[in-house]
Amino acid sequence: MIEVKNLSHSFRVGKKGTEKEIPVLKNVTFNIKQGEIATIVGRSGSGKSTLLNLISGYISPTEGELIIHENNVTNFNEKEWAKFRLSHFGFIFQSFQLIPSLTTFENVELPLTLKGVPSPERKKQVMDLLQNVGLHEHASHYPNELSGGQQQRVSIARALITKPSIILADEPTGSLDTETELEILDLIRSLNLEKGITFCIITHDDEVAKISNHQFHLQDGVLSKGGAFVEV
């Protein structure tokens, strides 16, 4: 499903001619199989977000390979990545990233609009999904009329609406209280078990890591698994 092979990434900083390369990820290698929940755990600055951005194609690796669904996507251009993301990925963010001027229904509907799905079919799919995540009564509400937990459910519904095989989540419970966090984690577990969706979640939260089949740890850009260093 997701194969990361000897992936390294550095950022260039400083003025042209005096630039320095700052390594962020160093020879990262791991696999996530279809239907698994994998968590990538690490402190702020460990390289978690950079790794997620590499997997989703928003930045390109300095070295290494990335294979998803048996496609070597390492050298995809932006047009190829945009098409691939829309077909295979859903995204969940800590800050929800809902469009404030759109209702719950419209936020969830947006990816289907981008895919060119006809309006009657969009309406049916969105309402069915809102029912599934417990938000059908809030379809006409705007984000500022919802609680944090409800906003995250909208974000999850939006991630699910294109029927992705993989969901990439960036600190999905980081803005939530403990009770709401547990509700969202239960929802993620249910979606994984019932729909077979693969989750790749970055987090610093042990409660989130507990729901995973595999825990990977990043420290100073170096990957370890189950607390033991992974030879690459």
Above pLDDT 70, what percent of the chain?
97
Domains of the chain, by residue range, sit at: 2-229
DSSP letters of 28-85? Answer: EEEEE-TT-EEEEE--TTSSHHHHHHHHTTSS--SEEEEEETTEE-TT--HHHHHHHH
Report whether pLDDT(22) > 80.
yes
Band of residue 95 on the pLDDT scale cut at 50, 70, 90: confident
pLDDT (mean) for 100-128: 95
Q: How confident is the model at residue 232 (pLDDT cuts 50, 70, 90)?
A: very low
| Mean residue pLDDT across the chain | 91
CA dihedral angle for residue 40, residue 90, residue 158, residue 37, rounded to 10 degrees: -40
Return the pLDDT at 118: 95
Q: Report the pLDDT value the prediction gives residue 228, as an integer from 0 to 100.
A: 36
The upper half-sphere exposure of residue 161, i.e. CA atoms within 13 Å in the direction of its Cβ, equals: 31
- Please give the CATH topology (third level) of the domain spanning 2-229: Rossmann fold (3.40.50)
Q: Which helix (H) or strand (E) holds 10?
A: strand 2-13
pTM of the model: 0.87
pLDDT of 157 above 50:
yes
pLDDT in tens, 160-211: 999 999 999 999 998 899 999 999 999 999 999 999 999 999 998 888 999 9
